[in-house]
Structure formats: structure tokens, C-alpha cells
Amino acid sequence: EIIIEKNAISAKNCIAELQLLLEKEKADIETSKDHTEQENAPENHNAKMHEESNAYAENQMQVKGNILHINNYWDRWKKPFKRRKKNINDIISKLQEIRK
């Protein structure tokens, strides 16, 4: 029961962190859209293009960093999830044997 509780807390923490990263990702995407719209406006096209391009490049690096962070985070959690799935399958097998 304690292990199940710890696993539930771990899973909740994982989901909470992924949700925060997803919100950050959405904000970064909105920033990218705003940037593209501004860059395409004729009055801004030449004057701020270089400055905005640098900001956009930094933003894209941040977006890639967030995706990388999510992937790394998921890689860290894959093994425990697989192990739990195996444990669940083992328990189901034992229960089926008991029922026979």
C-alpha cells in the first residue's frame, strides 16, 4: 500500500511537471506566432528584422530545450512505468493462478 501511494505521488509529480512544461511550450508558440505576424508587417520588416530574428532564434532554442527536457523527463520515467506494468501483469497472473 505504501509503494502504491509512493508511485501515485511520483506519477502526480511527473504529470504536474509535464503540464507546466506544456503551458510554457504553448506560451513560447504564441510568442513565435506574434513574432511572425510582426515581422511580416511592412513597417517593421526592415527596421527590427535583425533584432527580432535574434529574439526569434533564442525563442526557438528555448522551445527545442523544452521539448528536449520533456523527452529527457519521459526517458527517466519510462523504466519505472515499464517496471510497474510488469509488476501489475505479474500480480494479475498470480491472481489468475489463485482463481484456478
pLDDT, position 37: 62
Structural domain total, the chain: 1
Q: In terms of pTM, does the model score above 0.85?
A: no
pLDDT, position 31: 75
Q: Which helix (H) or strand (E) holds 48?
A: none
Cα angle, residue 98 at apex, residues 94 and 99 outer, rounded to 5°: 120
All residues at 6 or more sequence positions from 74 whose CB lies less than 8 Å from its CB, including other chains: 18
Domain interval for residue 47: 2-99
pLDDT, position 38: 60
With a cut of 50, which residues of the chain have pLDDT below it?
none
